[in-house]
Structure 1
Amino acid sequence: MTFILPPVITDLVLARNRLCDHYRSAALEFTLDGNLIGDIGEAVAAELFGLKLSPRNGTGIDGHAPDGRSVQVKATGTNRGPAFRMVDTRADHLLFLVFDLENLKGEVIYNGPEEPVIKLLPTEWVGQKTVSMAQMRRVDALVAEAQRLGRHSPGKQSLLKA
């Protein structure tokens, strides 16, 4: 599923793109990955899927779906897969969004239970571990439609492409 970024985020990304153009000869990328891209991912996921976001508390749960499922949101602006850390609480559901910052679009790469993705990781580790983009696409292909979060239909214009 692809979507168009909302205007307020588009403004931020366009400013980032102007920086990249201005400093192209220095090969600076001004990557937005990290907390900023993560926050953008949560905001976009909330709009796309009607999530009620939770206050930041480090539990591994970013919000709750309209049906009550706890949700973890991962996002990137690069071709790397999502990074996970050891947390005490895992979410029922995982959303992984990839942003194409050059074209002001995004794609939901994974929309399904978090457990099958976590099973791809070692049982214990220190720091962060990444699941590859290819692994995420393979696991997403195994998710039954009934397990996916449905598209939110807000009263205002949707972010999703028609």
Structure 2
Amino acid sequence: MKFRLPPHVQELVAARNKLKDHFAAYDLRFTFDGNLVGDLGEAVAADLFGLRLTGRSNEGIDGYAPDDRSVQVKASGTRRGPAFRPVETKADHLIVLHLDYEACEGEVIYNGPEGRVVSELLPESWTGQHTVNLRGLLKLNDGVADEDRLPMIGSNQ
């Protein structure tokens, strides 16, 4: 499901695009990555799904849905799958967003139980980060029952 990025995020993207255009001769990309992408993803997910964000203090849980399910949010500006770190705390639910900065829109790649992704797409144990296969994630998303999804309540559709 696609959605428009919120106006305040569109302003940030427009400023980034002006920098990119101005310095085009130098092949600078001004990519959004790291903490900024994660923060943008959490903010957009909070608007779209009515999440109450926890802030930086809760490893593995980024917020809570209106029905009190714990939620982990993953976001990327690339078409690669999200990266996971081994953490003790697992969320009830996972939202994975692809943010297309050129089109100022996003797409919900996965909206369902986190446990399915962990058990079906991640190894039993690993160190560092492990990227989940995007094709596998999309396939899992297709199999999520409507009642297992968080309803989209935001107005960015």
Output the CA distance in 2 between the equivalents of 1:25 and 1:127: 36
| Alignment coverage as a number of residue pairs | 156
Residue matched to 1:141? 142
Which residue identity lines up with residue 129 of structure 2 in the other structure? Answer: Q
Residue matched to 1:12? 12
Q: How many Å apart are 1:58 and its aligned residue?
A: 4.3
Output the CA distance in 2 between the equivalents of 1:135 and 1:27: 33
Structure 1 stretches of at least 4 aligned residues deviating more than 4 Å after TM superposition: none
Residue matched to 2:3? 3
Which residue identity lines up with residue 34 of structure 1 in the other structure? Answer: G
TM-score norm. by structure 1 comes to 0.92
Residue range with higher mean Cα deviation, 72-81 or 17-26: 17-26
Which residue identity lines up with residue 142 of structure 2 in the other structure? Answer: A
Output the CA distance in 2 between the equivalents of 1:55 and 1:39: 10
Residue matched to 2:156? 159
Residues 20-99 of structure 1 aligned to structure 2 (within 5 Å): 20-99=20-99
How many percent of aligned residue pairs carry the same amino acid? 56
Output the CA distance in 1 between the equivalents of 2:33 and 2:136: 20
CA offsets per residue over residues 37-61 of structure 1, 9 Å max, x none? 1101000100100000002124200
The answer as to whether partners of 1:77 and 1:98 remain within 8 angstroms in 2 is yes
The answer as to whether partners of 1:33 and 1:78 remain within 8 angstroms in 2 is no
Which residue identity lines up with residue 40 of structure 1 in the other structure? Answer: L
TM-score norm. by structure 2 comes to 0.95
Gaps of 5+ in 2: none
Output the CA distance in 1 between the equivalents of 2:44 and 2:98: 11
Q: How many Å apart are 1:111 and its aligned residue?
A: 0.2
The answer to whether 1:104 aligns with 2:104 is yes
Gaps of 5+ in 1: none
